[in-house]
Amino acid sequence: MSSEPSSRRRPGPPPRLNRELIADAAIAVGFTDLTLASVAERLSATHAALYRHVADRDDLVVAAVERLVAGLPPPAGPLDWRTLLETETWALWDMYADNPGVDQVLCAVPAAREVFVGRTITLIRRLCEAGFDVESAVLVADIVVDFARASGGTAARLHRTKTGQVKDALTRAWSDPADQETLRLVTGLVRQDHRPWAARKLEIVLDGIAVSVPCARDLPTR
């Protein structure tokens, strides 16, 4: 009597390594713990296999950053300048907030920073299309890119920190024990959801651009 073919599939060979697969593994490991050894372990691969696709740890960082940037929506257009800047800021902010340590490796690995150059140039071009002169477009793009990196990177670090420990440290360092209301507001910055506070700060940044950059004052917004 013939037996029914087994529905259980035999495990296939592991996927062949490539730069994109290695980059995805690096992102999954996280930038704060990123080493060639940690990525090799995650992929169940040898160091020699990784070295066929990445030259060293810095190149591993570059590959991971390339993957992150490729996954971002391109700077949209045509939009009014304020909507354009909001959209781009949040795309970058989310990338930093979701990937702790990426802001720090960008400072440490020049080749990784260069990955962002093309995207920033595109943002500058979109601002020029919206009516900015080139100098103002460069200034404004630099402002929001820096804001996204600093604010999103801080959110990522605070999210990984035990909230109670940070609040206890702030309380111990507070110089005016009588001013409990201000202390409450300051410790309130240590929260799990950092985006609403970042949104308030971004609103002030954009309002400042609206009144301080001459061409922005003359352009309509939504």
Token digits of residue 82: 């304020």
Nearest to 140 by CA among 193, 199, 83, 206: 206
Task: Let me know whether 209 and 103 are in one domain.
Answer: yes
Both tokens assigned to 127: 């601002």
Is position 81 within any domain? yes
Please indicate, yes or no, whether residues 105 and 24 belong to a single structural domain of this protein. Answer: no
Residues 83 and 192 in one domain: yes
Q: How confident is the model at residue 213 (pLDDT cuts 50, 70, 90)?
A: very high
Residue 4 lies in a domain: no
In a domain, residue 10? The reply is no
| Same-domain pairing of 25 and 129 | no
Average pLDDT, stretch 89-100?
Answer: 95
∠ Cα 158 159 160 (to 5°): 90
Query: Is 147 found in the same domain as 53?
Result: no
* Dist. CA 105–CA 68, nearest whole Å: 13
Unique residue bearing structure tokens 């390339």: 66
Between 166 and 58, the higher pLDDT residue:
58
Are 103 and 59 contained in the same domain?
no
Residue 9 counted as domain residue:
no
CA 1 to chain centre: 61
The pLDDT tens digits for 135-161 are 999 999 999 999 999 999 988 887 665
Amino acid type, 92: L
How many angstroms separate the CA atoms of 102 and 71, rounded? 15
Task: List the one residue out of 208, 198, 213 whose CA is nearest residue 136.
Answer: 213
pTM (predicted TM-score) = 0.80
Cα separations (Å) of 177 from 7, 138, 143, 163, 184?
69, 45, 36, 20, 11
On whether residue 1 sits in a domain, the answer given is: no
Cα–Cα distance between 159 and 85 in angstroms, integer?
25
- Weakest mean pLDDT among 98-112, 142-156, 192-206: 192-206
- Residue ending a domain, among 48, 71, 94, is 71
Give the residue from 52, 71, 90 where a domain finishes: 71
Rounded-to-integer distance, Cα 106 and Cα 45, Å = 26
Alpha carbon of residue 27 to chain centroid: 12
Same domain, 46 and 67: yes
- Specify the number of domains making up the chain: 2
User: What CATH number is attached to the domain comprising 119?
Assistant: 1.10.357
Note whether 172 and 206 are same-domain residues: yes
- Is residue 122 included in any domain, yes or no? yes
Confidence band, pLDDT 50/70/90 cuts, at residue 75: confident
The predicted-structure confidence for 11-54, as pLDDT tens digits, reads as follows 555 558 999 999 999 999 999 989 999 999 999 999 999 999 99
Q: Are residues 97 and 57 in the same domain?
A: no
Which structural domain range is residue 23 located in?
A: 16-71
Extract the tokens encoding 24: 């995805």
Both 113 and 194 in one domain: the answer is yes
Tens digits of residue pLDDT in 171-196: 665 566 656 665 555 555 555 568 88
The answer to whether residue 59 is domain-embedded is yes
Answer whether 20's CB lies under 8 Å from 67's CB. Answer: yes
